[in-house]
Amino acid sequence: MISLTTLPVLPYPAIDPVLLQIGPIAIRWYALAYIAGLFGGWRYVVWLNRGPDALMARKDVDDLLFWVTIGVILGGRIGSVVFYNPAYYLAHPLEVFAIWRGGMAFHGGLLGVVAVIVLFARQRKIPLLSLADMIAAATPIGLFFGRIANFINGELYGRVTDVPWAMVFPNGGPLPRHPSQLYEAALEGLVLFVLLFWLVRQRRIFRRPGFATGIFLLGYGLARGTVELLREPDAHIGLLAAGSTMGQLLSIPMLLLGAYLIWRARTPPAAS
């Protein structure tokens, strides 16, 4: 029997998670990934909102960036605390605020963004589902950069494997593992972005409110649920009911809501 330790593996590109250190100030790839994702998503929404069919004024698009940033940061951190490690943070409450050390949950960030866009749409009198469609189309940009940052940090790696592209991660022990962060960057980021971009080009998202949002939710849920089969479960949580992971369980509501929104938007609303 061949030992996994004797199999050829791809070298892990050990990139320092800190890009630049100036005294006590550290510029981390993780933070830059969030900045790139939010800025890139904002520029894409500006492009989507162009022309005579613009959903909102340019000032609203600029303000939306601030609102979404708040939703991502607060929701992502609260989600990480509540969904993945509540016992630790109850014992170390000040650690809740140490977001520079990582610890952001996508599902929490999603809930945070949902909350702020509901409030934003009501305040600015913008159709909620059409606004959600724009944000959904731009979200894979942030997901791509976020997963690349996870890879640079050597976190959220995959399970032990003998595939030729396996890697030995610094914090993952001596055995080669799936680079699951790259799988997620490809599926949740690139593939989902291209699919939504194609849909936006083929049929204007405003004609079927909620359709692009449904595609995003369903696509992300399928991508995340699939990659979770290859991703190492969180050590303090492990596998849950029927061998599922926390990420898979949290994706079930996304799958259901995504399927409902697609069904709801199967025919365009009648012209008034």
- DSSP for 150-201? HHHHT-S-B-B---TT-B--TTS-SS-B--HHHHHIIIIIIIHHHHHHHHHH
Q: Which residue has the tokens 């055995």?
A: 175
pLDDT of residue 2: 46
User: What's the rounded mean pLDDT across residues 216-221?
Assistant: 98
pLDDT at residue 138 greater than cutoff 90: yes
Q: Which residue has the higher pLDDT, 268 or 79?
A: 79
**pLDDT tens figures, 72-121:** 999 999 999 989 888 888 888 888 877 766 678 999 999 999 999 999 99
What type of residue sits at position 47?
Answer: W
Question: Would the pTM count as exceeding 0.75?
Answer: yes
pLDDT grade, residue 205 (50/70/90)?
A: low
Whole-angstrom CA distances from 240 to 234, 247, 248, 257 are 11, 10, 10, 22
Fill in the DSSP letter of residue 230: T
Of the listed ranges 3-7, 106-110, 141-145, the least confidently predicted one is: 3-7
Q: Which residue has the higher pLDDT, 203 or 199?
A: 199
Quick one: tokens of 230? Answer: 């290859």
User: What's the rounded mean pLDDT across residues 1-14?
Assistant: 67
pLDDT of residue 166: 96
pLDDT grade, residue 66 (50/70/90)?
A: very high
Question: Residue 233, exposed/middle/buried by CB under 10 A (0-12, 13-18, 19+)?
Answer: middle
